[in-house]
């Protein structure tokens, strides 16, 4: 099977982390890569933190996904700061961007 198109997903902090106030982090995942080498992520804003790029993981479609984790987002997240993650990759023409904001209502 041919790999599907590359997709970028931006996942909110885990609720337990937010409630504990410990280290809520945002996770940006670029998936659908035939070769995970060369993936690059840019966060905006970073809140002065360094994002951590995780090792590639095999995907269900037989390709790879790479994630970048931005730590320490609890306060700006609770204040409904909008975050965006832009990913570039040699296989991808141009860049992909995902944006996330805490939904209103809920913790």
Structural domain boundaries in the chain: 7-100
The answer to whether the CB of 50 falls within 8 A of the CB of 69 is: no
| pLDDT of 30 | 96
The answer to whether the CB of 84 falls within 8 A of the CB of 68 is: no
pLDDT, one tens digit per residue, over 34-87 is 999 999 999 999 989 999 999 999 987 789 999 999 998 888 998 999 999 999
pLDDT category at 1 given cuts 50, 70, 90 is very low
**Token reading at 98:** 């995902």
Q: What are phi and psi of 60, to 5 degrees?
A: -65, -30
* pLDDT average, residue stretch 93-102: 93
Q: What are phi and psi of 90, to 5 degrees?
A: -55, -30
CATH architecture type of domain 7-100 = Sandwich (2.60)
pLDDT category at 18 given cuts 50, 70, 90 is confident
């Amino acid at each position: 099977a041919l790999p599907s198109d590359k997709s970028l997903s931006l996942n909110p902090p885990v609720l337990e982390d937010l409630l504990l106030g410990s280290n809520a982090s945002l996770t940006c995942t670029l998936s659908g890569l035939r070769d995970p080498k060369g993936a690059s992520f840019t966060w905006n804003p970073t809140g002065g933190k360094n994002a951590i790029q995780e090792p590639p993981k095999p995907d269900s479609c037989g390709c790879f996904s790479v994630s970048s984790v931005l730590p320490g987002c609890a306060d700006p997240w609770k204040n409904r700061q909008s975050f965006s993650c832009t990913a570039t990759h040699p296989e991808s023409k141009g860049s992909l961007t995902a944006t996330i904001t805490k939904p209103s209502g809920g913790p």
